[in-house]
Amino acid sequence: MAATRTPWLHVIAGCMSSGKTAEVVRLLSRREIAGQSVLLITPARDTRVAPGEVVSRTGTRFPSVVAKDAPSLRDEVLARDPDAVAIEEAQFFGSDLPAIIEELVAGPRTVIVSGLDQDFAGRPFATIPELLARADEVTKLTAICVKCGGEATRTQRMRNGQPASVSDELIVIGGMGGDDTYEARCRACHVVLP
C-alpha cells in the first residue's frame, strides 16, 4: 500500500563543506528504500560535476536531473510527479523559486531544498532566507573551520590567496575563476576585505 503524500518543506542550509549534499542524498535514499518515488534536481549553472548526478564531498553519488531555472524545475517535477523532490544549490534558481516550491509542496509532496544561507561576505543569500522562513523543517549544518578547527558557519572566498573583497562578483561557481577558492570558516576567522 502506497503511503499518503503529505505536503512538507524541509530546508537544509549551511556553509560550503557542511554536508548539505550528503544529507540530501541520505534523505532521498531512505525514501527510496521505503518505496517512494524521488527526484533530485540540480541547477544548470552548477558545472562542477557531469550532468545527471550529484557527488558529495564524501564521494556519495545520486542520479539527478538538470534544470536551468525555477519554471523548468517545476516542469520536471510535474512531468515525473515524484513523492519527494530535492533541489540542490537552490540559491541558483532565481526569485521565482519560493512560489514554485509552494506550488510543488501543495501537490502534495515532500520538497527538500538545500543551499548556502549566506554568501561569501556573510550576507543572507538569494531566496534561501525566505525558504527558511517558509519551511516546515530546517536543518542548519556546520563545517569545520580550516583556520582554527572550530564550528564553521561561513563560506570564505579566497582570491589569489587573499580574502575576497565585499565588492567582488557575487557568484563564482566552485572557484571556477581559476584564482578563486572557497573555505569553511568560523565567524571569528571569516574575513571580507572592504
> Is pLDDT at 193 greater than 50 in this prediction?
yes
What pLDDT shows up at residue 77?
98
Q: 103 an active-site residue?
A: no
Residue 176 has pLDDT above 60, yes or no: no
Residue given cell 501543495 in the structure block: 106
> What predicted TM-score, i.e. pTM, was given to this entire model?
0.92
Q: Which of 131, 91, 85, 135 is nearest to 111 (CA)?
A: 85
Q: Are 158 and 164 in contact (CB under 8 A)?
A: yes
| pLDDT, mean of residues 6-11 | 97
Burial (CB count <10 Å: 0-12, 13-18, 19+), residue 110: buried
Could you tell me which residues come within 8 angstroms of residue 160 by beta carbon, excluding any fewer than 6 positions away?
Answer: 179
Confidence category of residue 1, pLDDT binned at 50, 70, 90: very low
Q: Which residues pair with 157 in a beta bridge?
A: 182
pLDDT at 180: 66
78 Cβ contact list (under 8 Å, min separation 6): none
> Tens digit of pLDDT for each residue in 36-45?
999 999 999 8
86-125 pLDDT, tens digit per residue, is 999 999 999 999 999 999 999 999 999 999 999 999 999 9
Instruction: Enumerate domains of the chain plus CATH numbers.
Output: 8-142 (3.40.50.300)
**Residue range 8-21: average pLDDT?**
96
Catalytic residue selected from 76, 89, 103, 183:
89
Please write the tens of the pLDDT for every residue from 142-156: 999 999 999 999 999
pLDDT at 179: 55
Given a cut of 60, whether residue 136 has pLDDT beyond it is: yes
Residue that the C-alpha cell 576567522 belongs to:
189
**3-state SS assignment for residue 171:** coil
Task: Determine which helix (DSSP H) or strand (DSSP E) holds 63, and give its type and residue range.
Answer: strand 61-63
The residue type found at 111 is: V
Q: Say whether 27 sits in a helix, a strand or coil.
A: helix
Is the model's pLDDT at 177 over the cut of 50?
no
Q: Which of the four pLDDT bands, split at 50, 70 and 90, describes residue 49?
A: low
